[in-house]
């Protein structure tokens, strides 16, 4: 199997699945908890990922860094955020597939303000999911010491 755009889209989908696995069984009180004010809550993290999905499309489509302000209504209900997150991710993957289906992965695109090979730009998208999965895991462990990260995320003991 060739390493191509479909391989990278699969990686983008897997990174989001990994992030979502961290939300399974989340208690109501964990959605807003922050270890200190400068951190994002889990609710804010979901809103941030929606904005990231949308911003990635804008950057890869126009080469311009988008204005993140107002990209998402922060007061959305949790179920609405999850729906918006699924929608923004589907739109991102569809955009990548449609726009770059036959584009060599070493083609240079403008992403986050600078020239970047397409393959690295797409891999950068996955880093957001993994980074924020770590934030959610921290909140879960800090608010529920009995939560078993390895068992819940990887099925281990």
- The string of pLDDT tens digits covering residues 57-114 is 999 999 988 876 666 555 556 678 899 999 999 999 999 999 999 999 999 999 988 9
Q: What are 54-72's pLDDT values in tens digits?
A: 999 999 999 988 876 666 5
Q: How do the residues of the chain divide into helix, strand and coil, expressed in percent and rounded to 5?
A: 60, 5, 35
Contact 5, 97 (CB under 8 A): yes
3-state SS, residue 62 = helix
pTM for this prediction: 0.91
Task: For the domain covering 18-154, report its CATH number.
Answer: 1.20.120.450
Torsion angle, alpha carbons of 136, 22, 18, 72, to 10: -60
């Amino acid at each position: 199997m060739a390493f191509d755009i479909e391989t990278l889209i699969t990686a983008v989908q897997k990174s989001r699945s990994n992030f979502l696995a961290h939300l399974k069984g989340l208690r109501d009180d964990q959605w807003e908890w922050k270890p200190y004010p400068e951190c994002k809550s889990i609710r804010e993290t979901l809103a941030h990922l929606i904005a990231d999905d949308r911003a990635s499309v804008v950057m890869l489509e126009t080469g311009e860094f988008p204005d993140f302000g107002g990209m998402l209504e922060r007061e959305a209900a949790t179920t609405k955020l999850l729906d918006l997150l699924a929608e923004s991710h589907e739109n991102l993957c569809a955009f990548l597939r449609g726009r770059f289906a036959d584009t060599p992965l070493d083609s240079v695109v403008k992403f986050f303000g600078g020239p970047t090979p397409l393959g690295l730009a797409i891999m950068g998208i996955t880093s957001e999911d993994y980074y924020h999965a770590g934030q959610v895991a921290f909140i879960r462990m800090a608010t529920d010491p009995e939560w078993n990260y390895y068992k819940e995320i990887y099925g281990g003991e």
